[in-house]
A and B are shown apart, each in its own frame.
Chain A
Amino acid sequence: MNFVALKMLVGDRAKYIGIIVGITFASLLITQQLAIFTGIMTRTYGSISDLGQPDVWVMDPKVQFIDDIKPLQDTELYRVRGVDGVEWAVPLYKGLLKARLSNGNFQTCNVFGLDDATLIGGPPEMIDGRIEDLRRADGVIVDEYAAVGKLANPPAFEGAPSTPLQVGDVLELNDHRAIVVGICRVQRTFQSQPVVYTTYSRATRFAPRERKLLSFVLVAAKAGVDPRELCARIQAATGLAAETRDDFKWKTVLYFMKYTGIPINFGIAVLLGFLVGTAIAGQTFYNFTLDNLKQFGALKAMGAGNGTLLRMILLQALLVGLIGYGLGVGAAAMFGILSRNSELAFRLPWQILAVTAGSVTLICMLAAVISIRKVVKLEPAMVFKG
């Protein structure tokens, strides 16, 4: 009877397309909104992802997320280095400094100051220049998006394109001369500010005078030492907060989830997609069943049991669900591909596909259940009523 069920469904083209459109819409909206939400959340910890070498981040206990800088005394670095299980520990400066462009405009930059000796914490990928070039006088490395965008040299005349920042160009960072010695590729950050790398000593020179300038201590665990165990030891020994890379990412994400309206806004969009999809698909599927009630009655009279009819309706729901899911997810993926080089945050891990699949299954089940109820209660004698 599967064949009959499918032909019944496909035979009513208008309703068939209507149901698929409803599910596609829901699937697209759920996938796309969740992917943008995940993309934005991923950007909140983009800087942590870029710093792949350290196992543990040490910070002031009051720090709530990566951009929440509460500087430490420089001496904390030595205390951390003294903890048993620490392979190495290096300082990291992270702060927002103003860059002055050649046309006089200012642009706030996310400046990272790396350990002068090791340059640990540098950009994950260099496009032009080498990370070691940071040792040259006044050297800075700028991210590629900033080089062609926010830090690009302004156009020579109105209407002309701006010139991308290149190795050798000069910047002014907080009234200090900085020379671009490299262009790197980094993950985009939540605030999409230009990312500038330099050495720790130079960054603290660029930064406004403060008593404490050490933002984080980056730590690697000795071989065989569990990073979580090391965090506990550092906390016990120094009174500072210590987080593994993954825990710090989660801490950052949870901060944004808790203290910003982002999850609520996206949650509402996802819920709307779900509700509208359910309403359209459910209503159309129910109408489709109502239109075929006489046929279902005839099948029932001819010996098709409730189990058979239930399987037929579930198969119909499964088919429209699969097609709608495929189209919706496909359209969302296409949207992601097309917006790859834009400012839009879009990340589509398999978990989102699973959530969308679950939501679409729920929509189809809801749509099927109201139809099944009608068919199960159907009196086959109604087919004799002309």
Chain B
Amino acid sequence: MYQPENAAVVCRGVTKVYGEGGSVVQALRGVDLDVRAGELLMLVGPSGCGKTTLISVVAGILDPSGGQCLVFGEDLAALPQRKRTAFRGKSIGFVFQAYNLLPALTAAENVAVPLLILGEKRSHALERAHAALERVSLSDRSSARPAQLSGGQQQRVAIARALVHDPRLVVCDEPTSALDADTGQRVMSLLRDVAIAPGRALIIVTHDSRTFHFADRIARMNDGRIESIQENVAETTTAEGRT
């Protein structure tokens, strides 16, 4: 498959079908998508259009039914499960809609989890976790448990966790949907400030139009297809009010 220069993710003709027989649901109907290293791409569209399915395929946690998706040149679907899981642990960071922090762990311990998965020593992992929390301005809350943090703070911990192992691709699923407007703006701003790096791509699934201006490009999905990809959105949507 042709891979454009500087491409982090290249998807061609990706399809995904759920169910069998009469209950078949066509979630993706031939998606072509390129994500460049160093850019923030937003996947937007109505509920059920296939956004989450697409990032699941990109992140290698769902197998496509057809087509191919390369992430930094690796076809994750073709890799054995063990290698795919290892690739995910090393190269991909996740920010989930519901944060998915472990309630029994402190903020710092939660942030350290990806490093522990990679086999790093606990003391070293916690050291790096503290540094990551500092980047999201939460170093003073490193000992707090998720239940002691606000929604915005929990999402900042989740962002620190997604970045602590310095992944090459960060995948965020509706990172602001559980937050109020102001907090959502702050989280997106933070995400843009700390996550964007040369050689790292950021894919954010959202339907919150108030955050679109943070994107470098917006891919609009509908009914399992990418309908359009809008370039340089950040410059053209300034009037909509970037914070």
Contacts and interface: CB of A to CB of B under 8 A. Distances in A.
B104 A302 contact: no
Contacts of A386: 97-98, 174, 177
B116 A3 contact: yes
A304 B81 CA distance: 11
Contact of B109 (A4, A294, A305): A4
Given A4-B113, A384-B173, A303 B97 contact: no
B196 interface: no
A305 B61 CA distance: 12
A4 B97 contact: no
A304 B61 contact: no
Contact of B88 (A10, A12, A301): A301
Nearest to A292: B102
A384 B56 contact: yes
Interface string A299-320: 1111111001000000000000
Given A302-B114, A303-B114, A383 B88 contact: no
A384 B117 contact: no
A298 B86 contact: no
B117 A303 contact: yes
Contacts of B94: 298, 301-302, 383
Contacts of A300: 61, 85
B85 A381 contact: no
Contacts of A263: none
A304 B115 CA distance: 11
Contacts of B103: 11, 295
B238 interface: no
Count class of interface residues, chain B: 20 to 34
Contacts of A1: 116-117
Contacts of A384: 52, 55-56, 96-97, 173
Nearest to A6: B104
A294 B103 CA distance: 11
Interface string B48-80: 000010011001011000000000000000000
Interface in A76-122: none
Nearest to B106: A7
Contacts of B105: 4, 7-8, 11
A299 B96 contact: no
Nearest to B110: A4
A259 B81 CA distance: 59
Contact of A303 (B56, B90, B100, B102): B90
B144 interface: no
Interface in B123-181: 173-174, 177
A301 B109 contact: no
Interface in A5-37: 7-12
B194 interface: no
Contacts of A7: 102, 104-105, 109
With most chain B CB atoms within 10 A of its CB, the pick from A1, A9, A301 is: A301
Nearest to A294: B100
A267 interface: no
A380 interface: yes
A8 B105 CA distance: 7
B164 to A, nearest CB: 11
B122 A3 contact: yes
A297 B100 CA distance: 9
29 contacts: A1-B116, A1-B117, A4-B109, A4-B113, A7-B102, A8-B104, A12-B104, A295-B100, A297-B100, A298-B100, A298-B102, A299-B113, A301-B61, A301-B94, A303-B87, A303-B88, A303-B89, A303-B90, A304-B117, A305-B82, A308-B117, A379-B62, A380-B61, A384-B55, A384-B56, A384-B96, A384-B97, A386-B97, A386-B98
Given A4-B113, A303-B87, 5 more contacts: A295-B103, A300-B61, A301-B94, A379-B62, A384-B173
Interface of A: 1, 3-4, 7-12, 294-295, 297-305, 308, 379-381, 383-386
